[in-house]
Protein backbone atom coordinates (compact mmCIF):
# COMPACT_ATOMS: atom_id res chain seq x y z
CA UNK A 1 0.00 0.00 0.00
CA UNK A 2 2.64 2.52 1.03
CA UNK A 3 5.49 2.52 -1.45
CA UNK A 4 9.04 2.15 -0.07
CA UNK A 5 10.03 5.30 -1.96
CA UNK A 6 7.39 7.25 -0.04
CA UNK A 7 8.86 6.30 3.32
CA UNK A 8 12.35 7.04 1.97
CA UNK A 9 11.22 10.48 0.80
CA UNK A 10 9.68 11.29 4.19
CA UNK A 11 12.85 10.14 5.96
CA UNK A 12 14.99 12.37 3.74
CA UNK A 13 12.58 15.28 4.21
CA UNK A 14 12.88 15.00 7.98
CA UNK A 15 16.65 15.41 7.63
CA UNK A 16 16.41 18.22 5.04
CA UNK A 17 13.33 20.22 5.97
CA UNK A 18 14.10 23.24 3.81
CA UNK A 19 12.50 24.81 0.75
CA UNK A 20 15.66 24.52 -1.33
CA UNK A 21 15.76 20.75 -0.73
CA UNK A 22 12.05 20.31 -1.44
CA UNK A 23 12.40 22.29 -4.68
CA UNK A 24 15.27 20.04 -5.74
CA UNK A 25 13.19 16.91 -5.05
CA UNK A 26 9.89 17.82 -6.67
CA UNK A 27 9.70 14.61 -8.67
CA UNK A 28 10.01 12.47 -5.53
CA UNK A 29 7.48 14.72 -3.78
CA UNK A 30 4.99 14.30 -6.61
CA UNK A 31 5.48 10.52 -6.57
CA UNK A 32 4.70 10.50 -2.84
CA UNK A 33 1.58 12.58 -3.42
CA UNK A 34 0.40 10.12 -6.08
CA UNK A 35 0.90 7.35 -3.53
CA UNK A 36 -1.20 9.23 -0.95
CA UNK A 37 -3.93 9.75 -3.55
CA UNK A 38 -3.96 6.03 -4.30
CA UNK A 39 -4.15 5.16 -0.60
CA UNK A 40 -7.08 7.54 -0.11
CA UNK A 41 -8.92 5.88 -2.99
CA UNK A 42 -8.20 2.40 -1.60
CA UNK A 43 -9.49 3.32 1.86
CA UNK A 44 -12.68 4.67 0.32
CA UNK A 45 -13.10 1.64 -1.94
CA UNK A 46 -13.10 -0.61 1.15
CA UNK A 47 -15.09 1.75 3.38
CA UNK A 48 -18.31 -0.27 3.02
CA UNK A 49 -16.60 -2.78 5.33
CA UNK A 50 -16.25 -0.33 8.22
CA UNK A 51 -18.58 2.66 7.70
CA UNK A 52 -21.39 2.94 5.15
CA UNK A 53 -21.61 6.70 5.65
CA UNK A 54 -18.07 7.00 4.32
CA UNK A 55 -18.86 4.60 1.49
CA UNK A 56 -21.87 6.69 0.45
CA UNK A 57 -19.95 9.98 0.60
CA UNK A 58 -18.36 11.37 -2.52
CA UNK A 59 -14.65 11.86 -1.93
CA UNK A 60 -11.87 13.57 -3.84
CA UNK A 61 -8.74 11.46 -3.28
CA UNK A 62 -6.38 14.32 -4.11
CA UNK A 63 -7.98 16.34 -1.30
CA UNK A 64 -8.02 13.50 1.22
CA UNK A 65 -4.59 13.93 2.80
CA UNK A 66 -2.67 16.68 4.55
CA UNK A 67 -0.36 18.76 2.42
CA UNK A 68 3.36 19.06 2.95
CA UNK A 69 3.51 22.81 3.44
CA UNK A 70 2.58 23.99 6.93
CA UNK A 71 0.83 27.29 7.45
CA UNK A 72 2.57 29.21 10.23
CA UNK A 73 -0.65 29.33 12.28
CA UNK A 74 -1.00 25.52 12.23
CA UNK A 75 2.64 24.48 12.22
CA UNK A 76 3.59 21.25 13.98
CA UNK A 77 7.28 21.20 14.89
CA UNK A 78 9.94 23.62 13.64
CA UNK A 79 10.02 22.53 9.99
CA UNK A 80 8.41 24.30 7.07
CA UNK A 81 7.02 20.98 5.79
CA UNK A 82 5.18 18.09 7.42
CA UNK A 83 7.24 14.92 7.65
CA UNK A 84 4.19 12.84 8.54
CA UNK A 85 1.09 12.81 6.36
CA UNK A 86 -2.48 11.89 7.33
CA UNK A 87 -4.62 10.16 4.71
CA UNK A 88 -8.31 10.55 5.55
CA UNK A 89 -11.39 8.41 5.02
CA UNK A 90 -14.25 10.68 6.02
CA UNK A 91 -17.92 11.27 5.36
CA UNK A 92 -17.34 14.99 6.02
CA UNK A 93 -14.53 17.54 5.93
CA UNK A 94 -11.44 16.37 7.90
CA UNK A 95 -11.16 19.68 9.76
CA UNK A 96 -14.85 19.71 10.69
CA UNK A 97 -15.85 16.10 11.38
CA UNK A 98 -14.43 13.16 13.28
CA UNK A 99 -13.34 10.51 10.80
CA UNK A 100 -10.85 7.77 10.02
CA UNK A 101 -7.22 8.32 9.13
CA UNK A 102 -3.89 6.65 8.42
CA UNK A 103 -0.80 8.53 9.62
CA UNK A 104 2.29 7.85 7.50
CA UNK A 105 5.61 8.81 9.08
CA UNK A 106 8.73 6.62 9.16
CA UNK A 107 8.92 4.71 12.46
CA UNK A 108 5.76 6.45 13.66
CA UNK A 109 2.87 5.12 11.57
CA UNK A 110 -0.56 4.62 13.10
CA UNK A 111 -4.26 4.49 12.24
CA UNK A 112 -7.52 5.21 13.98
CA UNK A 113 -10.20 7.89 14.09
CA UNK A 114 -10.42 11.42 15.36
CA UNK A 115 -10.27 15.13 14.68
CA UNK A 116 -6.86 16.29 15.87
CA UNK A 117 -6.64 19.69 14.19
CA UNK A 118 -10.24 20.95 14.28
CA UNK A 119 -11.53 24.24 13.01
CA UNK A 120 -13.05 26.54 15.61
CA UNK A 121 -16.51 25.30 14.66
CA UNK A 122 -15.41 21.66 14.65
CA UNK A 123 -13.94 21.96 18.13
CA UNK A 124 -17.12 23.59 19.43
CA UNK A 125 -19.18 20.68 18.06
CA UNK A 126 -16.93 18.16 19.81
CA UNK A 127 -17.18 19.95 23.15
CA UNK A 128 -20.93 20.44 22.94
CA UNK A 129 -21.42 16.76 22.19
CA UNK A 130 -19.30 15.83 25.22
CA UNK A 131 -21.46 18.06 27.43
CA UNK A 132 -24.68 16.60 26.01
CA UNK A 133 -23.69 12.95 26.44
CA UNK A 134 -20.77 12.42 28.86
CA UNK A 135 -21.92 8.87 29.62
CA UNK A 136 -21.60 7.98 25.95
CA UNK A 137 -17.91 8.80 25.73
CA UNK A 138 -17.16 6.91 28.95
CA UNK A 139 -19.09 3.85 27.74
CA UNK A 140 -17.22 3.97 24.46
CA UNK A 141 -13.78 4.07 26.08
CA UNK A 142 -14.75 1.24 28.42
CA UNK A 143 -15.75 -1.08 25.57
CA UNK A 144 -13.47 -4.17 25.55
CA UNK A 145 -12.82 -4.08 21.79
CA UNK A 146 -12.02 -0.38 21.85
CA UNK A 147 -9.66 -0.80 24.81
CA UNK A 148 -7.93 -3.79 23.22
CA UNK A 149 -7.34 -1.94 19.95
CA UNK A 150 -6.49 1.49 21.35
CA UNK A 151 -4.49 0.93 24.51
CA UNK A 152 -3.98 4.67 25.05
CA UNK A 153 -7.71 5.36 24.92
CA UNK A 154 -8.60 8.87 23.80
CA UNK A 155 -5.55 11.00 23.03
CA UNK A 156 -4.83 14.53 21.81
CA UNK A 157 -2.00 16.57 20.35
CA UNK A 158 -2.76 19.53 22.61
CA UNK A 159 -4.35 19.77 26.03
CA UNK A 160 -5.33 22.83 28.03
CA UNK A 161 -4.47 23.27 31.71
CA UNK A 162 -8.07 24.09 32.56
CA UNK A 163 -11.49 23.53 31.03
CA UNK A 164 -12.14 26.29 28.46
CA UNK A 165 -14.24 29.29 29.34
CA UNK A 166 -17.94 28.64 29.13
CA UNK A 167 -17.70 25.01 30.25
CA UNK A 168 -18.04 23.49 33.72
CA UNK A 169 -14.74 22.38 35.23
CA UNK A 170 -16.63 19.75 37.23
CA UNK A 171 -18.40 18.31 34.17
CA UNK A 172 -18.25 14.50 33.84
CA UNK A 173 -16.32 14.82 30.57
CA UNK A 174 -13.99 17.57 31.81
CA UNK A 175 -10.85 15.60 30.91
CA UNK A 176 -11.94 15.55 27.26
CA UNK A 177 -13.17 19.16 27.24
CA UNK A 178 -9.56 20.23 27.85
CA UNK A 179 -8.45 18.53 24.65
CA UNK A 180 -8.01 20.67 21.54
CA UNK A 181 -9.05 17.92 19.17
CA UNK A 182 -9.03 14.24 20.07
CA UNK A 183 -9.03 10.72 18.72
CA UNK A 184 -7.67 7.21 19.04
CA UNK A 185 -4.71 5.52 17.37
CA UNK A 186 -3.11 2.12 16.89
CA UNK A 187 0.57 1.84 15.97
CA UNK A 188 1.37 0.03 12.72
CA UNK A 189 4.93 -1.07 11.85
CA UNK A 190 6.36 0.43 8.67
CA UNK A 191 6.96 -2.96 7.12
CA UNK A 192 3.27 -3.89 7.37
CA UNK A 193 2.24 -0.77 5.48
CA UNK A 194 4.42 -1.82 2.57
CA UNK A 195 2.16 -4.85 2.02
CA UNK A 196 -1.17 -4.45 0.23
CA UNK A 197 -2.69 -6.97 2.64
CA UNK A 198 -2.44 -4.34 5.41
CA UNK A 199 -5.86 -3.18 4.24
CA UNK A 200 -7.37 -6.00 6.35
CA UNK A 201 -5.64 -4.64 9.47
CA UNK A 202 -6.80 -1.11 8.65
CA UNK A 203 -10.39 -2.27 8.19
CA UNK A 204 -10.24 -4.04 11.56
CA UNK A 205 -8.79 -0.92 13.18
CA UNK A 206 -11.40 1.37 11.65
CA UNK A 207 -14.21 -0.96 12.72
CA UNK A 208 -12.99 -0.74 16.31
CA UNK A 209 -12.83 3.05 15.99
CA UNK A 210 -16.25 3.41 14.36
CA UNK A 211 -18.13 3.94 17.67
CA UNK A 212 -16.06 7.09 18.23
CA UNK A 213 -17.03 8.39 14.78
CA UNK A 214 -20.69 7.57 15.32
CA UNK A 215 -20.67 9.23 18.75
CA UNK A 216 -19.69 12.56 17.18
CA UNK A 217 -21.94 12.34 14.08
CATH code, 44: 3.30.930
Structure letter (DSSP) for residue 69:
B
* Confidence band of 120 (pLDDT split at 50, 70, 90): very high
Helix (H) or strand (E) holding 134, with range, is: helix 134-142
Asked if residue 51 has pLDDT above 70, the reply is yes
Report pLDDT digits (tens) over 73-111: 666 667 899 999 999 999 988 889 999 999 999 999 999
In DSSP notation, 172-198 reads TTHHHHTBSSEEEEEE--HHHHTSTTH
Average of per-residue pLDDT across 4-22: 97
Give the least confident one: 59-73, 84-98, 141-155.
59-73
**Residue 188, pLDDT score:** 98
Say how many C-beta atoms besides its own lie within 10 A of residue 129's C-beta.
18
Average of per-residue pLDDT across 205-216: 98
Domain carrying residue 149 = 4-215
**Residue 132, pLDDT score:** 96
- The answer to whether 90 and 100 have CB atoms below 8 angstroms apart is yes
Domain count, the chain: 1
Average of per-residue pLDDT across 59-86: 85
Sign of the torsion angle spanned by Cα atoms 127, 128, 130, 131: positive
* Confidence band of 127 (pLDDT split at 50, 70, 90): very high
* Confidence band of 72 (pLDDT split at 50, 70, 90): low
Distances (CA, A) of 165 to 148, 150, 161, 169: 34, 30, 12, 9
Asked if residue 133 has pLDDT above 90, the reply is yes
Asked if residue 153 has pLDDT above 90, the reply is yes
pTM: 0.94
Asked if residue 71 has pLDDT above 80, the reply is no
* Confidence band of 66 (pLDDT split at 50, 70, 90): very high
Amino acid sequence: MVEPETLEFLTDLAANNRKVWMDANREERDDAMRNFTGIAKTLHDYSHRYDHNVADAGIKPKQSYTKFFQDARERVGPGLFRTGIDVFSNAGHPSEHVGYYLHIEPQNCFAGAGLFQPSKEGLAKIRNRLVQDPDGIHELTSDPEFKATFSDGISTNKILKVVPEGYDGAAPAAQYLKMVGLGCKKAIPDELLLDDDVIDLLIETFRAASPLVRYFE
